[in-house]
Chains A and B, each alone.
Chain A
Amino acid sequence: KAGVTQTPRYLIKTRGQQVTLSCSPISGHRSVSWYQQTPGQGLQFLFEYFSETQRNKGNFPGRFSGRQFSNSRSEMNVSTLELGDSALYLCASSEDGTPVNTQYFGPGTRLTVL
């Protein structure tokens, strides 16, 4: 089976712009979670989707949003980018999003905000 894929792998944007990141889960996986990873804060949970519904959300401002499509692919959007949004954005897929089932991570999208 192909692993979790994320596009693009690298992105450079300027403050105030918006960005959309994409995640394709492992075939058959219906849950997709998004995380932000920075050296100072580590891996922080953004949100989780299952069957096109957001089931859980982390403590991020409303500028961070996401969605999931009927084929389980997911997108994450950040509007009005700030310098502090520079990070590695990781998505992870699992069969149903419960802790019993393993999360498989993609390689991440490295976002740099100038």
Chain B
Amino acid sequence: QKEVEQDPGPLSVPEGAIVSLNCTYSNSAFQYFMWYRQYSRKGPELLMYTYSSGNKEDGRFTAQVDKSSKYISLFIRDSQPSDSATYLCAMAKTGGFKTIFGAGTRLFVKA
């Protein structure tokens, strides 16, 4: 079993839709939870970062962490065609130097 599970999609939504992306994990030691966005032919870039449980909002993006269920989510409101990319969840432990990534979900937002 992988430490981090993420549905690879693809996920196709119309412009303006609310997008929900999710990951589950098995290691309860993870304390840092991140979402990266990767456009075609580019490296991933950090989108959101959360420590421990709770919600974090940044513009149209909201990250949620539920440590009791070992489940994290990224919500995108009012999705735009420019949001079309692969979204990767990532996790790390306190004091660690290793980040574990999910497989990534391919998102298409249709105009």
Contacts and interface: CB of A to CB of B under 8 A. Distances in A.
B103 A42 contact: yes
B43 A99 contact: no
A48 B41 contact: no
Contacts of B66: none
Contact of A99 (B8, B41, B99): B99
Given A4-B43, A92-B43, A99-B32, A31 B97 contact: yes
17 contacts: A4-B43, A41-B103, A42-B8, A42-B88, A42-B104, A43-B103, A48-B97, A50-B97, A58-B98, A98-B96, A98-B97, A99-B96, A102-B46, A102-B49, A104-B46, A105-B45, A108-B43
B68 interface: no
A79 to B, nearest CB: 23
Contacts, number: 63
B42 A107 contact: yes
B88 A106 contact: no
Nearest to A110: B41
Interface residues of A, number: 27
B101 interface: yes
Given A35-B101, A43-B44, 12 more contacts: A41-B103, A42-B104, A43-B104, A45-B99, A55-B97, A56-B98, A98-B96, A99-B96, A103-B46, A103-B99, A104-B46, A106-B43
A74 interface: no
A97 interface: yes
Interface residues of B, number: 27
A97 B100 CA distance: 13
Interface of B: 6, 8, 31-32, 34, 41-46, 49, 88, 90, 92-104
A56 B96 contact: yes
- Point out which of B32, B42, B43, B103 has the most chain A C-beta atoms below 10 A from its C-beta: B43
A99 B101 contact: no
Contact of A90 (B6, B44, B93, B96): B44
A58 B100 CA distance: 10
A44 B34 CA distance: 15
